[in-house]
Structure 1
């Protein structure tokens, strides 16, 4: 089942501290049928506020966000929106980073640099309640 075949769009919030990356992710998501960009945030506090205001289905969370990091953002968002699906997005795929995000409530972990198709597939998996992890030794 493709992203556009879900019946309604997957509502996506992008939480990324780098403005260029945040903009690129937002533009990509907005361009894909079946996905709806509902907001963007640059730090943990903004991520939590945007999540509470927009009730996204999926949240892309930069693991190294300012004001406490992606794990803090994931924990706070998970408390407010237990059904939200969280996608950790990081330049780091080391065991500790992956485990920290999983413990914080992430459902998916992607390493920055994945191609657009892989990111879109991950959002689709997450929107359907599936879990995905990078190939790391746990």
Structure 2
């Protein structure tokens, strides 16, 4: 597995390189200290996976991910970030990242993410999974409520009776309306 590391902190890049290069199935093929550099190295080196910091100079990790995946959709990107905020998580996932790992994690989790993403699957740190699920649940609750708000009280009654298996004639009779109205 050929890996490119993009982080503006040298100690992070060096630490990851030493730990990754100790794995028999992994090799760090390059390091980038900013977003522009990682886009260039991605073209030159064609890594399997890029470990991408989000907050980098010259071009942030979100935009760098978009550019890289537009040119080479076969490359996989794992965000490695301090940001737990849903804005950063959703932006990276929308940009096409296959994984999101927090910098506070242990190296074993980075390895798990690399191997999972290399198999073509997605990987999210457990804390990130909570953020994504909470956001999804909130979205669905809002979406469902919005759809429901467009129905009048009478329309809700008709929908309820249809759900109970009543015919349009039965609904019309129960609500004292014409059968044609309940069909609409």
TM-score (norm 1): 0.90
In the TM superposition, residue 28 of structure 1 has moved relative to its aligned partner by 1.2
2:31 is aligned, of 12, 37, 40, to 40
Q: Gapped runs of 5+ residues in structure 2?
A: 136-184
Offset at 1:67?
Answer: 1.2
RCO higher in 1 or 2 (8 Å CA, sep ≥ 6)?
1
Counterpart position of 2:116: 125
Corresponding pairs, count: 129
How far 1:33 sits from its partner (Å)?
1.1
Corresponding position of 2:160 = none
- Aligned-residue offset at 1:68: 2.3
Cα RMSD for the two superposed structures: 0.9
Runs of 4+ in 1 over 2 A off after TM superposition: none
Corresponding position of 1:68: 59
Please show how residues 100-119 of structure 1 align to structure 2 within 5 Å. Answer: 100-119=91-110
Which of these two proteins has the greater Rg computed from alpha carbons?
Answer: 2
Q: Give 1:22's aligned residue.
A: 13
Q: Distance between the aligned counterparts of 2:94 and 2:57, measured in 1?
A: 19
Name structure 1 gaps, 5 residues minimum.
1-9
Return the match for 2:72 from 81, 85, 104. Answer: 81
Partner SS state of residue 33, structure 1: coil
